[in-house]
Structure 1
């Protein structure tokens, strides 16, 4: 806060009030006639007596505290009022300019275009400086604008046209980029690896590698979705619920698939008799299974329709594969057991089959293969094998022969030798 003595205040005795005399009146008249000279004198005196002015101000404030505070408040009010007037003046000027621009858009546009044409270097400098300071923001806005474009092909065509117009610039950018030895070496290695893969696939008779080319907009969309998904605070519980639901649905279909399918077929038949529109048996099966599994689960509040559909797809893929493997293993085990139990009978039948083939002029078949074939024919009649194919049956026969050869029980070869030495009668 300023005191009574500063660079705009004449040196005088402020602590003792004295009546004006003749010399004082002459001084006032001199100051009025020569204000510049007097102001210079004041500034010179104040610069030469800084400590004295500071001490006089301090003493004056100590003895006139209330007056000093009042002066300070008055000064702050004047400053606030002055700032308010300046703000109002600027706002009114902006408002007038805004109304004028809205009333004369064509003139504004022409002025802006003319200014830009006349100040190309300034515009380029302003843009480069702003881009250097706000590179990430500018790129993000541009990417968002391209992603929001309802016609992405338009952006692609614009890029192609730009590339056609700026071939030399693109070549220069590539040369600058490849000037880095590490980047250049990495590109060479990637190209060599791609060529090696192409030659390897061609020699193996396989089609060339096919890649799904994703645009930058698609990649950014995928990244946003992935980021939103993995940053979700409920993700651990969501994943737990989905995992438990998918495993429970698969197990339920393995254990109760047959019964559920019978119920679905009966339900569909009833709808048909009633004249209702037909529905898929498979849909009814999994709808019933989903209902049963969700009733038994403790929490399913975070599961969505996409989660349920994914779990159903997984169950449809896993259950048939596991049932097929289970039927395969059971068939192999049953064939091996049947051969061990009825080896002599199967060997006799196999010898008779080979004699019949020889009589018809056909080549002889190994006895082990015929034995396994006869044993499989008996087993298949009383076991479910709807999941197995012809190739699976051939594989069952091969696995069964291997297990018989590696079995610790009396070998099939000994039985074959004993039967072959014994005349058939």
Structure 2
């Protein structure tokens, strides 16, 4: 008795062979008649446009459904893989390490290919990691240098093998030695260099880019410039009156047993408030900008007051000389006689006159902003004026004397 499975296997085999032969004949026919089949399809579509569109819609729906099923299948596979990785982290790590160990060349190829395509992103991420932990980066660098002394020496030899690089290094070293010797001979300290790391340089570059790329920077600088100039102008014009008010305010606080506040702080706080109210826009100014403007104004006011006091001192010396020249000349002559009696050399009369005039006017003229160098400058300029006056007076006296003799 025959096995039923063997009886059914023969027809299936014949059907599979017939189907394969038919598919092969169809492929040969299509390859030999592509233009004719394309023309027949075009004619059929033009005669049965509605049916062609319906078949096209059915085909698109089936393709969309197929893509949806495949996407769901891949999503379920990814979800299963994710759950497995979360449930078996040790096995996942072991598998990754084993695969990397077994496929070193493939991993290196993948890395090189990715690096070539994303060179800038890889370098930026590596620099960010180094900047995030500079101490760790220094430690790793030192450890690598200790382990690879021969490699470092080879890299240095290869670099110096370039004649231009080697010559530039020799010239830089020679210039540094010359500068050191010159500073030492002049009694000056050696040149101080602040070694900047790559991380610090990148941070400085980022800050500079953020500063100069800010679209509001021109308006910010304009507001700061106008504010600083207006504050200086206001203090030069109203500084004395505001100082009087601030001193009275401080005395009032003292009588009320309140903590003392520096007069200058009160003056500049009020000046900043007044100038900010008068300006059209101050929305971009920060507290640092205001503090910088106040420092600039203080320096400018001190500079103007210093120049004014120098001019007043010089003018007071010259005016005092012209008003009391006879007495000053007599005192200068008496001083020279006294020096002669003590065996000391004589001093030019104009120098003694200037010194005596300075002693007379010093208490009457404000000199709180002047330094010793400023006072010497004022005295020297006043001395030049007085010397010119004395020369003119001598010329006039000689002329009068000649006329009297004639």
| TM superposition score normalised by structure 2 | 0.85
Is this contact kept in 1: 2:339–2:345, CA < 8 A? yes
Q: CA deviation at 1:31?
A: 8.2
The alignment status of 1:128 with 2:112, answered yes or no, reads: yes
* Residue matched to 1:263: 245
What value does the CA root-mean-square deviation take over the aligned residues?
Answer: 2.7
Q: Give the match's secondary structure for 1:34.
A: helix
- Choose between structure 1 and 2: higher helix proportion: 2
Distance of 1:341 and 1:182 partners within structure 2 = 76
- Find the partner of 2:177 among 189, 195, 205: 195
* Residue matched to 1:10: none
Q: CA deviation at 1:185?
A: 4.2
Distance 1:239 1:404, change over 3 A: same
* Residue matched to 1:243: 225
Distance of 1:92 and 1:354 partners within structure 2 = 114
Distance of 2:359 and 2:227 partners within structure 1 = 40
* Residue matched to 1:20: none
Is this contact kept in 2: 1:343–1:415, CA < 8 A? no
Distance 1:363 1:164, change over 3 A: same
Deviates more, 1:349-358 or 1:139-148: 139-148
* Residue matched to 2:352: 370
Q: CA deviation at 1:321?
A: 2.6
Q: CA deviation at 1:417?
A: 9.0
Distance 1:179 1:393, change over 3 A: same
Q: CA deviation at 1:179?
A: 4.5
* Residue matched to 1:411: 391
* Residue matched to 2:131: 147
Q: CA deviation at 1:253?
A: 2.4
Q: CA deviation at 1:370?
A: 0.2
Q: CA deviation at 1:394?
A: 2.4
Q: Give the match's secondary structure for 1:365.
A: coil
* Residue matched to 1:334: 316
Distance of 1:127 and 1:46 partners within structure 2 = 45
Distance of 1:317 and 1:327 partners within structure 2 = 15
* Residue matched to 2:7: none
The alignment status of 1:88 with 2:72, answered yes or no, reads: yes
* Residue matched to 1:354: 336
The alignment status of 1:306 with 2:288, answered yes or no, reads: yes
Deviation readout 1:138-162 (Å, 9 max, x if unpaired): 121122233334xx32332222222
Q: What are the equivalent positions in structure 2 for 1:138-177 lying under 5 Å apart? A: 138-149=122-133, 152-177=134-159
Deviation readout 1:230-254 (Å, 9 max, x if unpaired): 2222211111110111122222223
Distance 1:230 1:92, change over 3 A: same
| TM superposition score normalised by structure 1 | 0.82
* Residue matched to 1:60: 44
Distance of 2:396 and 2:143 partners within structure 1 = 82
Deviation readout 1:192-248 (Å, 9 max, x if unpaired): 333332222212111112233333333323322222222222211111110111122
Deviation readout 1:66-94 (Å, 9 max, x if unpaired): 22222222211111111111111111111
Q: Give the match's secondary structure for 2:188.
A: coil
Q: CA deviation at 1:131?
A: 2.2
Distance of 1:184 and 1:255 partners within structure 2 = 63
Distance of 2:262 and 2:393 partners within structure 1 = 53
Is this contact kept in 2: 1:344–1:415, CA < 8 A? no
Q: What are the equivalent positions in structure 2 for 1:388-407 lying under 5 Å apart? A: 388-405=370-387, 407=388
Distance of 2:37 and 2:204 partners within structure 1 = 72
Distance of 1:257 and 1:295 partners within structure 2 = 18
Q: Give the match's secondary structure for 1:398.
A: helix
- Find the partner of 1:98 among 82, 91, 98: 82
The alignment status of 1:274 with 2:256, answered yes or no, reads: yes
Stretches of structure 2 lacking an aligned partner (at least 5 in a row): 1-13, 402-406
Is this contact kept in 2: 1:147–1:217, CA < 8 A? yes
The alignment status of 1:108 with 2:88, answered yes or no, reads: no
* Residue matched to 1:287: 269
Q: CA deviation at 1:44?
A: 2.3
Stretches of structure 1 lacking an aligned partner (at least 5 in a row): 1-29
Deviates more, 1:87-96 or 1:178-187: 178-187
Deviates more, 1:34-43 or 1:107-116: 34-43
Q: Give the match's secondary structure for 2:274.
A: helix
Q: CA deviation at 1:372?
A: 1.1
* Residue matched to 1:253: 235
Distance of 2:43 and 2:33 partners within structure 1 = 15
Is this contact kept in 2: 1:347–1:415, CA < 8 A? no
